[in-house]
Amino acid sequence: MDLNFNKNEDHNKLLVSDLKQRLAKVKLGGGQKSIDKHHEKGKMTARERVNYLFDAKSKTIEIGAFAAEGMYEAHGGCPSGGVVVKIGYIKGKQCIVVANDATVKAGAWFPITGKKNLRAQEIAIENKLPIIYLVDSAGVYLPMQDEIFPDKEHFGRIFRNNAIMSSMGITQIAAIMGSCVAGGAYLPIMSDEAIIVEKTGSIFLAGSYLVKAAIGESIDNETLGGATTHSEISGVTDYKAKDDKDALDTIKNLIDKIGDYDKAGFNRAKSIKPKENQDDIYGILPRNRADQYDMYEIIKRLVDNSEFDEYKAGYGKTIITCYARIDGWAVGIVANQRQIVKTTGAKTKSSEMQFGGVIYNDSADKATRFIANCNQKKIPLVFLQDVTGFMVGSKSEHSGIIKDGAKMVNAVSNSVVPKFTIVIGNSYGAGNYAMCGKAYDPRLIVAWPSAELAVMSGNSAAKVLLQIETASLKKKGETITPEQEEALFKKIKDRYDEQVSPYYAAARLWTDAIIDPLDTRTWISMGIEAANHAPVEKQFNMGVLQV
């Protein structure tokens, strides 16, 4: 091991340590005092409910843990968007669970809460995965109602999705474990089956205060819409539970009796751990995002037995395309190569040096053909992103980089096999699109702590913005000293660097999670297992750009 490896290792392990500390804070939800008050009411917290529901010692992955990170500070914050979303196993069956966190603003819905719930439903729909709702919410957060109520991707879309999933035969089970009011009351009742907890669970379109104001009727909430009312009088709910654990046990028993599902038939063999030490990833990945490293060495530490079959190894070398297995599942990998390489492609001169992490004509052409092959063979795709964008300049433009790039984007867009994206490092500009960014419907998209997502790097963006700013000042007849220029550059770069952070992206659900690199195999494996619930129904077709 060389000194540079050790420095990289220290840097990346610190990033992972920071990640774990941030996760620990997020998992406290509204804080220990709120948790204690929750327990005093005889209720489990959202995370306790989810953990109890999943099979002991089984693997889980959490979607959107950092949702709302750094957002809504003027409103007191909203850790995890006030809702916990996890994929795991109940009685051996893979499910997705959505649990309102009532320690955060009584489980009220912020704009990001709606987006996160819709993301959970999207995962359930794409993968035909059973979905469980653990309801405990005061409803829409009224000070921000205009950002959560009326639009296509706001609160109401959730009930539309309930109906769509029901028509698709996707199992939906809801447990009313606290408040469930107003429009939110439709979610559990539009599910297949609904459970309500005695004394703590209630559901109604309008609570007692609003009823009094609207029609003058005096009634308490329990009589209006408690467990006994809806289990014995209205027939709105299907099961009455004496406490949280009883409700969760009922869900377990219901899931246990679900029949088997039609499988997509993705190829899986016996899982073999990578032969190369996975911990080496920390030392291979450079601490400086501009530095080179060999993506082959990363791939060897992610795939079974560190073995892969490379497609077009000598062509288009700034993108690696290969077949491999991850936890036994057959995958096609499309990865950006960050080392500067030599190429002898038809559209570049022999032995010409190419910039690592940049997509050239030949790289785009190779990736397009490989993606088509994986679709034909029904092999899920894994994208390993560390991309600065497509090559620019007269040589690339004259060689038709736009056309070749468009073909790659077209292939990614029309791919019918499941896609999974891991943002390892840079994810800039159109490179983000071509390498299956969030806009291109990956089944799951996660980032390592080393990731950066933006139109361009902070350094490049700051230079461009500084040029615009100084030109504007000169037009006004104002001068700027080198010291002022340096201070302005730093101010712009600092602001931009905050926005390229993986936490900024995760807060807005541009990615599903920030993960320890050593958890990558678990995410991909559980993702493909989920995708295997949904047979591929469409055929791959690139349209006019196929020729």
pLDDT (tens digit per residue) in 404-422: 889 999 999 999 999 999 9
Helix (H, G, I), strand (E, B) or coil at 28: coil
Element (H, E) at 115: helix 111-127
Q: What per-residue confidence (pLDDT) applies to 341?
A: 72
Question: How many CA atoms lie less than 13 Å away from 161 in the CB half-sphere?
Answer: 24
How large is the average pLDDT for residues 73-101? 96
Contact 304, 326 (CB under 8 A): yes
| Mean of all residue pLDDT scores within the chain | 91
Q: Pick from 124-128, 141-145, 430-434, 495-499 the range whose average pLDDT is largest.
A: 124-128
101 closest CA partner among 144, 62, 158: 62
393-427 burial: b if 16+ Cβ within 10 Å, else e: eeebeebebeebbbbbbbbbbbbebbbbbbbbbbb
Question: Looking at the predicted structure, is the pLDDT value of residue 78 above 70?
Answer: yes
User: Alpha-carbon distance 480 to 501, whole Å?
Assistant: 30
**C-alpha neighbours within 13 Å on the C-beta side of residue 138:** 13
> Look-up: residue for tokens 């007692």?
208
- Whether residue 386 is predicted with pLDDT greater than 70 in this model: the reply is yes
Q: What is the pLDDT of residues 238-256, one digit of tens each?
A: 999 999 999 999 999 999 9
Q: Please indicate whether residue 271 or residue 457 has the higher confidence score (pLDDT).
A: 271
Token duo for residue 194: 């609904």
Query: Please, where are the H alpha helices in 157-303?
Result: 157-168, 186-189, 208-215, 221-225, 227-228, 244-256, 281-284, 295-300
- Considering the chain, what percentage of its residues have pLDDT values greater than 70? 96
Residue 371, SS3 per DSSP: helix
The residue among 163, 231, 168 whose CA lies nearest residue 191 is 163
Q: List the one residue out of 223, 198, 227 whose CA is nearest residue 208.
A: 223
pLDDT value at 350 more than 50: no
Say whether pLDDT at 349 is over 60: no
Distance CA 89, CA 91 (A): 6
Q: Classify 165 as helix, strand or coil.
A: helix
pLDDT given for residue 84 in this prediction: 98
Residue type, 205: L
Tell me whether strands 319-326 and 308-310 are parallel, antiparallel or unpaired. Answer: antiparallel
| pLDDT tens sequence across 442-488 | 999 999 999 999 877 767 777 777 788 787 877 888 777 888 778 87
> pTM for the complete prediction?
0.93
Return the closest-CA partner of residue 364 out of 333, 391, 332.
391
- Return the pLDDT at 352: 62
Instruction: State residue 353's pLDDT score.
Output: 65
Question: What type of residue sits at position 442?
Answer: P
Query: What's 407-439 look like in SS3?
Result: HHHHHHHHCCCCEEEEEEEEEEHHHHHHCCCHH
Least confident of 84-88, 219-223, 420-424: 219-223
Mean pLDDT for the stretch of residues 35-50: 94
- Residue at token pair 């009455």: 240
Mean of the pLDDT values across residues 208-235? 85
Question: φ and ψ at 289, to 5 degrees?
Answer: -65, -15
Tens of pLDDT, residue by residue over 129-158, are 999 999 998 888 778 888 888 888 888 899
pLDDT higher than 90, residue 307: yes
Mean pLDDT of the region 351-380: 90
Least confident among 53-62, 147-156, 259-268, 323-332: 147-156
Rounded average pLDDT over 97-106: 94
pLDDT at 343 (0 to 100)? 61
Residue 344 scores a pLDDT above 70: no
Count each helix (H run) and each strand (E run) in the chain, helices first.
20, 19
Question: Which residues are within 8 A (CB) of 463 and not within 5 positions of it... i.e. 6 or more apart?
Answer: 489
Percent of all residues in the chain with a pLDDT value above 90, rounded to a whole number: 67
What is the tens place of the pLDDT at every residue in 161-208? 999 999 999 999 999 999 888 667 788 889 999 999 999 998 887 777
Tokens encoding 425: 């490092």
Dihedral sign for Cα atoms in the order 531, 534, 536, 542: negative
Mean pLDDT of 35-62: 96
The two structure tokens encoding residue 286: 């450079």
Work out the pLDDT band at 547, boundaries 50, 70, 90: very low
Report the range of poorest mean pLDDT among 49-58, 82-91, 388-397.
Answer: 388-397
Written as six digits, the tokens of 133 are: 């709702």
